[in-house]
Structure 1
Amino acid sequence: MRSPAELFDLSGRRAVVTGASSGIGRRLALVLAAAGAEVLVVARREQRLVQLAQEHPALAARLHPAGVDLLSDGAAAAVAERADTVLGGCDIVVGAAGMSGGLAGSCAFDGGLFERVLRLNVTQQAALTAALFPALAASGQGRVIHVASIYGLGAEQMGPLTPYVVSKHALVGLTRSQAVEWSPHGITVNALAPGHIPTEMTEARLQDPAYAAGLLPRYPLGRFGRLEELDTAVLFLASPASTFVTGIVLPVDGGWSCR
């Protein structure tokens, strides 16, 4: 029987984490590196990736910056090439890059906004994982973790976020489809569905007293989440502890999805 330490040990594993310059992506990259993985940290703001390594000297040797704008043409192929040259392959992909698009409903349709949100949150996630598929299949124990949202399970009630909600529902669909299609290759595909966690993208809104007062009653635990509360969830899905788990959406949401 393997010990818990062995089950969650990622030594020798190679990971690609997008959206790693801030927020959830940044945190998850650090968690995987701390567990022993070599991590290609991907984001548009390369200087922030360099700073990430500088701020964590104990992990710096396992954090490899890759400044790539995922909205640019050829971005998926560029990341896959960097994974091959820098890491020598890929065993784990964590797709945390995303954008909210701000308050936008479905009555006054903004096609350009829809296109941008869906392109980053879904299309490029699909393109990136497809570009890395050969490496994941060669691994024999590939792991794909899409960072979805509770808004992939329901809708915002404090103001319309339609493009974002649609994109996260689509990401859940991508997760389940890939899980079925890629299972013969030894690849598991799952999604995290975080609740409201203060990050660079969300902090200002969550600190608004009126918004918080309207939203907090949806949480049985009576508070918003913390970044570190995603640590064990991503480790579980990335590690040998989850070999028989695929196609799930794991809420880390303080009970939001129970309401």
Structure 2
Amino acid sequence: MKPAGTGSATGNTATLAAGQPLATNPFSLHGKTALVTGAGRGLGRAVATALGLAGAEVIALDLSPLNDFKDELEAHGVKCRIRSQNLAALSPEQAAEIITWAKETGRGPDILVNNAGLIRRGPALTTTLEDWESVIGLNLTTPFVLSQAFTRSLLGDDQPGSIINILSINAFQGGVEVPSYAASKHGLLGVTRALANEWAPHGIRVNGIAPGYMETELTAAHREDPARYQAMRSRMPIGRWGQPDEIGGAAVYLASAASTYLSGTVINVDGGWLSR
């Protein structure tokens, strides 16, 4: 397989003489298919929407209903397939079946967004093993086995691809009373880098996006506490919490030919939180 990003033309980019207008858009995802987990709400929905509007066909997976999302995307001219799927601690066999289904129902995915996630809040001393394992299972095990199945398929078809793991600023810090979540995101950061090292030579790029504090259901508890909400906002140089659709551009970039020399990279979309 020709590694992604080599040669004079890759994806939607082409070598041009100085002064010539661009013949193609390197950020276009036309002809691509993106499988997005946890696409029913929050960050997953925002990422899937951004990829679709950039030209990709979307395969949306979630345990929650997705019919309204499919209708919404198709109203904007985006092709969309949906599947109700329990992604908790996915087995290798289940992951392989998802990829097989995707290829049998249309074009197989060449973009994978591992977004589905879970958080359990509480002190470390009262964290149960059940809670620990449920978070690690969905946030770390599922992305790994789905990435395996996705990559095996692409290697078998001699095709390049892009994996985008949705991390968190808690991949770089411990957070407060979220030990299992912090552990899972630290682990996913390590997996992102490890898979990038192994698979980039085969044309499979693996990168991550680390969102900061976004206004989603997962952060409702923070936002319902006015003092904590304000204290957290005061640390953000941009001066406000993020909106889910503000990570869409980073996802399009990492999925597209505009980023063919990036692998093992994490883009922090955090309003400057980690720079403080």
Residue 272 of structure 2 corresponds to which residue in structure 1?
255
Aligned ranges 1:1-259 → 2 under 5 Å: 1=16, 3=22, 6-45=25-64, 47=65, 49-59=66-76, 62-71=79-88, 73=91, 74-101=93-120, 103-137=121-155, 138=157, 140-156=159-175, 159-259=176-276
Q: For the residues of structure 2 that align with 1:241 and 1:123, how far apart are their CA atoms?
A: 29
Q: For the residues of structure 1 that align with 2:72 and 2:163, how far apart are their CA atoms?
A: 27
Provide the identity percentage. 36
- Residue 8 of structure 1 aligns to a residue in which SS? coil
Q: For the residues of structure 2 that align with 1:133 and 1:3, how far apart are their CA atoms?
A: 31
Conserved? CA contact 1:41–1:64, under 8 Å: yes
Q: One-letter code of the match for 1:253?
A: D
- Residue 107 of structure 1 aligns to a residue in which SS? helix
Conserved? CA contact 1:194–1:252, under 8 Å: yes
Pair 69,4 (structure 1): closer, same or farther in 2 beyond 3 Å: farther
Q: For the residues of structure 2 that align with 1:19 and 1:5, how far apart are their CA atoms?
A: 31
- Residue 217 (structure 1) shift: 2.3
Q: What is the CA deviation profile of residues 195-243 of structure 1, one whole-angstrom value per residue up to 9, with x for unaligned ones?
A: 1111122234324202202212221112111122112111110000000
Conserved? CA contact 2:52–2:78, under 8 Å: no
TM-score in terms of structure 1 length: 0.92
Q: What 5-or-longer segments of structure 2 have no aligned partner?
A: 1-15
TM-score in terms of structure 2 length: 0.86
Larger radius of gyration: 2
Root-mean-square deviation (Å): 1.8
Conserved? CA contact 2:196–2:205, under 8 Å: yes
Q: One-letter code of the match for 1:133?
A: T
- Residue 116 of structure 1 aligns to a residue in which SS? helix
Q: One-letter code of the match for 1:40?
A: I
Q: Which deviates the most, 211-220 or 237-246? A: 211-220
- Residue 39 (structure 1) shift: 1.2
Pair 99,37 (structure 1): closer, same or farther in 2 beyond 3 Å: same
Conserved? CA contact 2:115–2:166, under 8 Å: yes
Higher relative contact order (CA 8 A, sep 6+): 2
Q: Which deviates the most, 103-112 or 53-62? A: 53-62
